[in-house]
Homo-oligomer: A and B are copies of this chain.
Amino acid sequence: MLDRSAKGVFVIAPTPFLPDGALDLDSADRMTDAFLAAGASGLTLLGVMGEAPKLTQEESVAFVARVLKRVAGRVPVVVGASAPGFAPMKALARAVMDLGAAGVMVSPPPGLKGDEAVVSYIAQAVETVDAPFVLQDYPQLSGITMTAPMIARMAADPRVVMLKAEDWPGLDKLTAVRRLEAEGKMPRIAILGGVGGQFLPEELARGADGIMTGYAFPEMLVKVCELIWAGKRDEAQDLFDAHLPLIRTEVQPGLGLAIRKYVLKRRGIIAHDTLRAPGPKLTAETAGEVDYLLGRLSRVQPLKAAA
């Protein structure tokens, strides 16, 4: 089970598909192995990057079941359960918790009006899933603002164990939450950064316990955490900077997932870079640009994933 002491790199996994769009569960196994070999402290399934809304309920559960089986308890697995209604949220949350998930992640939906409505929605969501709860703060997608004092109120429920901090810009909010904790105004919760890894060094310096993101080279994320926590900030930044051109390419809205699947395929982590429709396709020009960046990156980072 996930608790407030969680830390490290939680890799957000895509959902692999065969060229015809069917679930590719063999790739799910290989991907699980690769992420664990890269040093992941946890996995996150069915996030935005997991194309969750394009899966049927059965497929969602089948994919989660397969990954959980492969993980076999070695690391906690978080499952995204955001839904327009509490009934389907509850159904999915129960199913995946019964299968062995460590917690669920929920973002408030678009359209809530005012701070109070957001705080109240999350309280109901926590009650609904009744499991270790990861609060996803992703305003670019949800359109919902969560300020530090709102997060403090939500964290009063002990089931809220983790904040996935995905606001952009969001570093000052991260600092503000840690400050409220230090002032005794809220319990200390786990905070993992996000936004594609773009601000990992700063997030860690501001007090994040790690990061939850889907960048295609999670071993870099792991190493940067280690270096920063060992006080080697410059060395961490050097490594980070070498990856930044690719990170910048991956975080492009709409296109990013296609690029990530392309890189994961080139790394041998998944067999196909298929996205379910509707979804973007990589042009030859974009693929060429990614190839060029991968070539440069290979000076410091092997392309092929460790087995």
Q: Is the interface of A mostly helix, strand, loop or mixed?
A: helix
Given A169-B252, A172-B286, A286-B172, A147 and B114 contact (CB-CB distance below 8 Å)? yes
The reply to whether A87 and B55 contact each other, CB–CB distance below 8 Å, is: yes
Contact residues in B for A147 (Cβ distance below 8 Å):
113-114, 116
The reply to whether B55 and A56 contact each other, CB–CB distance below 8 Å, is: no
Question: How many angstroms between the C-alpha atoms of A254 and B171 in the bound complex?
Answer: 13
> A252 contacts which of B59, B168, B248, B253 (Cβ < 8 Å)?
B168
Q: Interface size of A by Cβ–Cβ distance < 8 Å?
A: 57
Number of copies: 4
Contact residues in B for A109 (Cβ distance below 8 Å):
278
Decide if A7 is an interface residue (CB 8 Å cutoff). no
Interface residues of A (CB under 8 A from B): 21, 51, 53-57, 59, 83-88, 91, 109, 113-116, 121, 124, 139, 145-147, 149-150, 168-169, 171-172, 175, 198-199, 202, 205-206, 234, 237, 240-241, 244-245, 248, 252-255, 276-278, 283, 285-286, 289, 296
Q: What are 25 A-to-B residue pairs whose CB atoms are below 8 Å?
A: A54-B85, A54-B86, A55-B88, A56-B88, A86-B276, A109-B278, A114-B115, A114-B145, A116-B149, A168-B253, A169-B254, A169-B255, A171-B286, A172-B283, A172-B285, A172-B286, A175-B283, A199-B248, A202-B289, A206-B285, A234-B296, A240-B245, A244-B245, A244-B248, A248-B248
